[in-house]
Structures are given as C-alpha cells and as structure tokens.
Amino acid sequence: MICKLCKKEFDEFKTEEKTFANGTKHIGAYCPVCGAHQQWLPQGGPDILYYGKYKDEKIEDIVKKDKCYLEWLKDNCKRSVKNKIVKYL
C-alpha cells in the first residue's frame, strides 16, 4: 500500500482499536512510516448510517420511524449500504 500523506510504500498497517460514541468498534489503520491515519476498519456491531438525514443512527431504529427514507436510500446509495438496508426492510 501507499500512504495517503507521505506517499511511502508499506506492507502492513499499524493498528489501534477504538469505540465510537454510537457504540461501534473499529480498528484505525495507520501508516507505519509517518503515522498518518489511512482508514477505519469496522469490527461488527450494529449497522449504522454514516451520512445523510439519520447520520450515526442504527438502521434498525430508522426503519421503525422512517421506512420510506430507507426505501429511497436503498435505490440511491452504494451497494455496501444497500445490502445493510435490505436486511431490515
């Protein structure tokens, strides 16, 4: 891989575990050369929307209060989010 910041090539991330305020657990992946954050790697937990009208809310809670929004979003989002939404509709 190539670091987004220092542009150096590396084989493995330096990692650190973190629990976000919404209860989801992720592993932060960092460049071993400069320490720049590269990406968050989700580690199970509830399905959360990370953008939009219900940002940082559980999909299972959203379906109870605004199923129409999830129907619309399912047809207008990327496949990874669509797959999560379909499980609840």
Res. 35 pLDDT band, cuts 50 70 90: very high
In the chain, domain spans = 1-45, 46-89
Euclidean distance between CA atoms 74 and 20, whole angstroms: 25
Q: Would you state the pLDDT for residue 80?
A: 77
Q: Which of 49-53, 63-67, 73-77, 78-82 holds the top average pLDDT?
A: 63-67
Assess whether pLDDT exceeds 90 at residue 68.
yes
Assess whether pLDDT exceeds 90 at residue 39.
no
Mean of the per-residue pLDDT values of the chain: 88
